[in-house]
Amino acid sequence: MKAKKAKKAKNATAAFEQSLATPQKQAYVLQLYVTGMTPRSTRAIANAREICETYLQGQYDLSVIDVYQQPRLAKDAQIVAVPTLVKKLPMPLRRIIGDLSDQDQVLLGLNLKPKP
């Protein structure tokens, strides 16, 4: 019985050490708050998707939340202006307000571009 536990612990340790040796890219959890399908909201959605596909391909989860359809989510997230992109993960939490057309500012806000 003790031999099985020792072997299991050794396997777990080996798996942990291997995961540390091969760094994984951080997953981004993003929420975009918009108001219906207004031109500004549509631009924000298109810009957010373009940025995610260009810079975060395969390592992001983008949720689009219409504050007209789900006002409670906007209230809980303390959204005061729309469109607003909220970066929940990786920490720190960031909020980017606007239609996300200034790509350099968005990349700075998402920590994908170093500060000048």
Identify which has the larger pLDDT, 14 or 26: 26
- Burial (CB count <10 Å: 0-12, 13-18, 19+), residue 34: buried
How many distinct structural domains can be found in the chain?
A: 1
- Is 44 within the bounds of a domain? yes
Tens-digit pLDDT profile for residues 51-68: 999 999 999 999 999 999
- Is 77 within the bounds of a domain? yes
Query: Chain centroid to CA 24: how far?
Result: 15
Q: Which domain does 100 fall in, by range?
A: 28-109
E strand or H helix at 70, and its extent?
none
Question: What rounded mean pLDDT belongs to the chain?
Answer: 87
CATH number for the domain spanning 80: value is: 3.40.30.10
- Is 80 within the bounds of a domain? yes
Residues 61 and 55 sit within 8 Å (Cβ to Cβ): no
- Is 58 within the bounds of a domain? yes
pTM of the complete model? 0.77
Per-residue pLDDT, 12:
61
Residue 78 above 50 pLDDT? yes
